[in-house]
């Protein structure tokens, strides 16, 4: 599984993110260990209070564990991976929180440790943790027989379409998928051999090359969001300049936005609005199904948990009744029957726990399969309508380029015909040229 980690402060913000239901269909607090508090928010407040006695600002260490998309990973596998992370980084015994998130038929986990050692009042040193986690991630893929991503086998072959949280939020504001945005720009970069061809390829996708205030070359979306080109292409600024030249003669960001507003938006605005309205209408039944499925799955889990709890209590009561008290209990101890009964109870409790885990995992696997089927339909619908919007951008870009290319010829034809008609027409008649408004 892919392991992504960071040292950070801001425990309150992290707790809100981990418990956020808007972007996750199901959130499960799997473990709160080593804290006096029993809630995630309380645990992180406790970690912050402990860190106030040190000079450490980034008192939390957060790791996200993302298994392959099509795998139904059991909780024990996540627990094993978390234990391996602790051993690899020297975090054994540190207080931690583990939260499961489920979205789009996939389950991933977040593990957060307090870096502060309460005995020494110092922060755990986590040198070179990215490299250590990358090695551990490779080992997890090998141990479980999962197909390893190219980027893990060879860092030079990694997917350059990774994006930061800020970039994802920026793309979301612009109505784009961040991965698709990076993919579009990188595709344009790959097929272009000059700035003009690159700019044309971008414009066909509703993106515009411009000169940034401090970032050199930038890309401006139709909605006015601005992205650094070096970040989108995963190239250094020198490489971008070597291929595209200096951006001095490009439009500024403000000029590009004005150009979009005056030349592009009037032609595209109505069409794109209509395309998005159609897309929303097509997506709404699927979104309603998603919400209904989410509620149904939550009810199924609740009923299972309640049923298992009632059965566990009844079985625990039955096991306790086997241990006799008083004189007979003393006799059982003398004859060894008490130890046998106790061992039997422990074995039954263990197998009961395993049975409950299997039932819950079976339910989750079934629900994930249903959710992935619905997500495939949602993804296909999104892709289809995104292609329609991109086609509109491409048509508008081609129309503008064709208009600009034909403008000199049109002006010559206009002047020629205007002159000929003026010479041939009576003086009291006004000459007419080509109707360029059509």
pLDDT tens-digit map of 173-193: 555 666 677 888 888 888 888
Give residue 249's pLDDT.
Answer: 84
Give residue 101's pLDDT.
Answer: 93
Residues composing the chain? 438
Question: How far apart (Å, rounded) are the C-alpha atoms in residues 200 and 207?
Answer: 9
Does pLDDT of 380 surpass 80?
Answer: yes
Please identify which residue in the block is written with the tokens 């961040």. 178
DSSP-derived 3-state class of residue 57: coil
**Average confidence score pLDDT of the chain:** 81
Closest CA to 263 of 174, 392, 396, 391: 396
For the segment 431-436, the average pLDDT, to the nearest whole number, is: 34
Question: How far apart (Å, rounded) are the C-alpha atoms in residues 184 and 188?
Answer: 6
Give residue 404's pLDDT.
Answer: 55
Give residue 409's pLDDT.
Answer: 53
Q: How confident is the model at residue 429 (pLDDT cuts 50, 70, 90)?
A: very low
Does pLDDT of 305 surpass 70?
Answer: yes
Show the tokens assigned to 29. 């607090």
Give residue 412's pLDDT.
Answer: 55
Give residue 343's pLDDT.
Answer: 92
Strands 26-33 and 96-103: antiparallel
Strands 60-66 and 2-8: antiparallel
The structure's pTM equals: 0.61
Q: What percent of the chain has pLDDT over 90?
A: 28
Q: How confident is the model at residue 1 (pLDDT cuts 50, 70, 90)?
A: confident
Q: What percent of the chain has pLDDT over 70?
A: 79
Give residue 397's pLDDT.
Answer: 63
DSSP-derived 3-state class of residue 184: helix
Give residue 432's pLDDT.
Answer: 35
Does pLDDT of 34 surpass 50?
Answer: yes
Show the tokens assigned to 292. 């209904």
Strands 116-117 and 207-211: unpaired
Q: How confident is the model at residue 347 (pLDDT cuts 50, 70, 90)?
A: very high
CB 220 within 8 A of CB 226: yes
Question: How far apart (Å, rounded) are the C-alpha atoms in residues 104 and 200?
Answer: 35
CA-CA-CA-CA torsion sign (88, 93, 96, 102): positive
Q: How confident is the model at residue 170 (pLDDT cuts 50, 70, 90)?
A: low
Does pLDDT of 35 surpass 80?
Answer: yes
Closest CA to 183 of 210, 207, 214, 217: 207
Question: How far apart (Å, rounded) are the C-alpha atoms in residues 381 and 389?
Answer: 13
Give residue 433's pLDDT.
Answer: 35
Question: How far apart (Å, rounded) are the C-alpha atoms in residues 162 and 130?
Answer: 16
Question: How far apart (Å, rounded) are the C-alpha atoms in residues 375 and 50?
Answer: 43
DSSP-derived 3-state class of residue 32: strand
């Amino acid at each position: 599984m892919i392991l992504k980690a960071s040292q950070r402060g801001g425990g309150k913000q992290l707790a809100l993110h981990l418990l956020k239901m808007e972007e996750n269909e199901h959130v499960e607090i799997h473990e709160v260990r080593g804290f006096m508090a029993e809630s995630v928010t309380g645990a992180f407040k406790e970690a912050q209070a402990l860190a106030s006695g040190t000079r450490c600002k980034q008192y939390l260490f957060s790791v996200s564990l993302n298994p392959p998309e099509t795998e139904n990973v059991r909780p024990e596998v996540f627990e094993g991976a978390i234990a391996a992370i602790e051993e690899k980084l020297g975090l054994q015994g540190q207080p931690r929180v583990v939260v499961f998130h489920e979205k789009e038929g996939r389950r991933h986990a977040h593990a957060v440790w307090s870096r502060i050692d309460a005995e020494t009042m110092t922060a755990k040193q986590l040198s070179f943790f990215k490299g250590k986690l990358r090695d551990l991630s490779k080992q997890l893929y090998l141990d479980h027989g999962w197909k390893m991503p190219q980027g893990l086998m060879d860092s030079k072959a990694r997917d350059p379409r990774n994006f930061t949280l800020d970039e994802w939020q920026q793309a979301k504001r612009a109505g784009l998928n961040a991965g698709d945005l990076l993919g579009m720009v990188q595709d344009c970069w790959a097929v272009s051999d000059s700035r003009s061809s690159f700019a044309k390829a971008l414009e066909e996708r509703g993106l515009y090359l411009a000169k940034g205030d401090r970032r050199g070359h930038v890309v401006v979306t139709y909605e006015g969001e601005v992205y650094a080109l070096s970040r989108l292409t995963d190239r250094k600024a020198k490489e971008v300049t070597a291929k595209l030249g200096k951006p001095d003669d490009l439009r500024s960001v403000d000029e590009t936005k004005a150009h979009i507003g005056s030349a592009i938006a009037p032609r595209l605005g109505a069409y794109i609005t209509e395309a998005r309205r159609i897309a929303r209408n097509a997506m709404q039944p699927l979104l309603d199904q998603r919400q209904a499925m989410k509620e149904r799955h939550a009810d199924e889990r609740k009923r299972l948990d309640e049923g298992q709890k009632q059965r566990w209590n009844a079985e625990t009561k039955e096991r306790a009744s086997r241990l006799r008290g008083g004189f007979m209990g003393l006799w059982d101890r003398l004859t060894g029957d008490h130890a046998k009964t106790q061992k039997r109870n422990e074995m039954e409790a263990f197998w009961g726990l395993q049975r409950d885990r299997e039932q819950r995992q079976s339910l989750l696997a079934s629900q994930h399969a249903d959710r992935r089927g619905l997500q495939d339909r949602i993804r296909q619908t999104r892709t289809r309508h995104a292609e329609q919007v991109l086609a509109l951008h491409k048509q508008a870009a081609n129309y503008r380029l064709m208009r600009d290319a034909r403008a000199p010829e049109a002006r010559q034809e206009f002047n020629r015909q205007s002159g000929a008609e003026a010479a041939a027409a009576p003086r009291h008649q006004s000459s007419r040229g080509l109707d360029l408004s059509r």
